[in-house]
Amino acid sequence: MKYTKISIKAENKNYKNPFFLGSQLRGSFGHSLKNITCINPSFSCDGCFASTSCIYHELFEKKNEYHKFRFDFRLAQKELAFSLFLFDDMTLKLPYIIASIDFLLKKQGLSKEKITFKHYEMSINAQNEIINDTIKIPKEIIKSFQVESFSSKVILRLVTPLRIKKNNRFLKDTIELSDITNSIQKRKGAIFDDTFEPKTPAGTITKQNIRFIELTRYSNRQKTAMNLGGLVGEIEIEGLDEATYTLLKIGELIGVGKSSVFGLGKIEVVDL
């Protein structure tokens, strides 16, 4: 599994982080990406002659698909700090993505006030790539997923709201290990063009300290408020085998559940 991780830190005393950064970030990034990449004089996606080769169309106009990117951050941050993961063949579009982030931060701006950031820090796969305000793209931009540890007992942290549907309803008070692993397998299969084959996980949830928090976002496209609430907290799991542990680590990378591109479904696996 191939991926690229772009990490950003920026500061402007006039900018205030929303509790949930994902809605603002994804929407602003979409506008910026379209500004950078669109070659249609009409600037319209409907019936566009370039839609089959357009990165904006692939990431934002294709409906009901798993998109090959996701934002990553924590709730209620004090500073603007986020990562953007690119997966599979989307890693090859890195120059367009970086140009769009630069345009977003320096010219377009974030929030209703369109606050810009004169200087910012960028790293690509944990290597600093801005020198004297000049962006430098490394020769090796693609990483391969690897698991270098194993523990049969872990704490699974649900860092941002986890939205998983079961029997046509979102889980709101309790969750099973198979709910999580099936979601990861399905997302992995869609992103990396693998066959989705649900497997029974090895492991038992011994403790759950989770709660459902409500989140909403306003969709300019649909002109309505949309719910993004989900489960946050910690889950203690014992009896994992290496395959199930690896699957949870994959979930750390690609996210879990619905709306992961917004930054929902961020999990962390803590070995015990």
pLDDT of residue 62: 87
- Kindly provide the b/e burial profile for residues 107-141, where b requires at least 16 CB atoms within 10 angstroms of the residue's own CB: ebbbeeeebbbeebebebeeeebbeeeeeeeeeeb
- From 3-7, 65-69, 193-197, 205-209, the region with the lowest mean pLDDT: 193-197
pLDDT greater than 70 at residue 230: yes
* Chain segment 250-267, per-residue pLDDT in tens: 999 999 999 999 999 999
Going along the chain from its start, the domains and CATH numbers come out as: 2-144 (no CATH), 154-271 (3.30.70.1900)
Q: What is the separation, in whole angstroms, between the first and last Cα of the chain?
A: 26
pTM over 0.75: yes
In order of 19, 223, 264, the CA distances from 140 in angstroms are 34, 42, 28
Q: Read off the amino acid at residue 3.
A: Y
CA 75 to chain centre: 13
Give the tens place of pLDDT for each residue, 169-181. 999 999 999 999 9
Residue among 117, 85, 113, 123 nearest 13 (CA): 117
- Band (pLDDT 50/70/90 cuts) for residue 272 is very high
Whether residue 135 has pLDDT greater than 90: no
**Count of CB atoms situated within 10 Å of the CB of 166:** 13
